[in-house]
């Protein structure tokens, strides 16, 4: 029996690629010299798309696959998939929730600590001999006991909060309603109140068209010249132009960012700022989590082609 044809939008590690290649006929879109020609040639045979969170599948790709039955996303975010196009054709979409939550929260908290305590510049201070020549590294800002805000108390936001509680932080959050699983944290219905409360504002919103630029100039300026914004969600949740302007003028103290508009290219103005910590969209990037994400992608594909229920279908 011939294997189901899968359109593979981006590369995966060998530990995922090998089992995918054994079970399916993987068509590697990302290796094509002529992506449109590749889609025209293979699209008519494609029964599923395997993609990654940040790559998704746009309307043109979906339209090029008239026999498409499933999109399986390697990532919790599915904002880059054209969900309206999927809905119109009744194509289910799966993602990889839960398995990456702890790692994403870890990286967000690590970014806060690293930037607040100046660990990158302190490392340079040791390596370039400044310590020996000039003495003590400039003093930095404390983390423990200060005020943290979590914009979006979903799975990842909640794990961030649990970690911050270990630093005795005064934690507030916003979401569509107060959460009974967070009784010790302050609920702010208005994101502006949250931003005003926060020395450290974590952006943990599931991105969608509705959350685009949810962190706008007013919110950024409310976090203020002493405050820090940490983004471990999607770049689209923040107005990046307003963010850069606030960092340049000092209206915002600092920003720790794992995601960027147009990544992996990023606005070169970020590179000129000392008040930012820049990370290459790797919050879920541990061997343990990536193996679990890959398995979930494969398990969803396997379940579909075996006529079994999908494991993690997005609502």
Residues with a catalytic annotation lie at 234, 263, 281
Residue 180 contacts by C-beta under 8 Å, 6 or more apart in sequence? Answer: none
Give the Cα-Cα-Cα angle 205, 208, 210 (nearest 5 degrees).
95
Q: Which residue is nearest to ligand 8YV (CB)?
A: 75
Is the Cα dihedral 280, 224, 227, 53 positive or negative?
negative
Instruction: Report the nearest approach of ligand 8YV to the CB of residue 231 (Å).
Output: 12
H-helix or E-strand spanning residue 206? none
CA distances from 183 to 23, 128, 187, 192, 276 (A): 47, 47, 9, 21, 33
> Which residues of the shown chain bind ligand 8YV in the complex (CB under 6 A)?
52-54, 74-77, 100, 281, 284
62-88 burial by CB neighbour count: b if 16+ within 10 A, else e? bebbeebbbbbbbbbbbbbbbbebbee
Does the CA dihedral 106-109-111-114 come out positive or negative? negative
When the beta carbons of 108 and 227 are compared against ligand 8YV, the nearer one is 108
**Considering the complex, what minimum distance in angstroms separates the CB of residue 76 from ligand 8YV?**
4
Find the shortest distance in angstroms from Cβ 116 to ligand 8YV: 24
Nearer to ligand 8YV, 9 or 169 (CB): 9
Task: Output 76 or 169, the one with its CB closest to ligand 8YV.
Answer: 76
Which is closer to ligand 8YV, CB of 146 or CB of 290? 290
**Shortest gap between Cβ of 108 and ligand 8YV (angstroms)?**
13
């Amino acid at each position: 029996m011939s294997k189901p044809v899968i359109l593979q939008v981006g590369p995966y590690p060998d530990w995922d690629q090998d089992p995918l290649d054994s079970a399916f006929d993987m068509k590697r879109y990302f290796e094509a010299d002529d992506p449109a020609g590749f889609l025209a040639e293979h699209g008519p045979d494609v029964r599923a798309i395997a993609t990654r969170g940040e790559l998704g599948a746009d309307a043109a790709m979906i339209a090029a696959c008239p026999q498409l039955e499933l999109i399986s996303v390697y990532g919790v975010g599915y904002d880059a998939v054209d969900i309206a196009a999927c809905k119109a054709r009744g194509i289910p979409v799966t993602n990889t929730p839960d398995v990456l939550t702890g790692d994403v929260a870890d990286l967000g908290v690590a970014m806060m600590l690293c930037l607040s305590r100046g660990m990158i510049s302190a490392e340079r201070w040791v390596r370039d001999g400044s310590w020996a020549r000039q003495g003590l590294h400039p003093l930095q800002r404390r983390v423990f006991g200060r005020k943290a805000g979590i914009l979006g108390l979903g799975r990842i936001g909640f794990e961030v909060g649990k970690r911050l509680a270990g630093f005795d932080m005064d934690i507030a959050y916003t979401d569509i309603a107060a959460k009974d699983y967070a009784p010790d944290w302050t609920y702010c219905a208005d994101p502006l109140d949250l931003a005003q409360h926060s020395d450290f504002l974590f952006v943990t919103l599931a991105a969608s068209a509705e959350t685009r630029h949810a962190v706008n100039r007013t919110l950024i300026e409310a976090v203020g010249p002493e405050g820090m914004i940490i983004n471990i969600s999607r770049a689209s949740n923040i107005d990046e132009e307003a963010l850069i302007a606030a960092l340049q003028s000092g209206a915002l103290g600092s920003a720790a960012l794992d995601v960027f508009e147009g990544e992996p290219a990023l606005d070169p103005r970020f590179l000129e700022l000392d008040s930012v910590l820049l990370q290459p969209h790797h919050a879920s990037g541990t061997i343990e989590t990536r193996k679990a994400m890959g398995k979930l992608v494969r398990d969803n594909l396997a379940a579909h082609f075996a006529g079994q229920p999908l494991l993690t279908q997005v609502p």
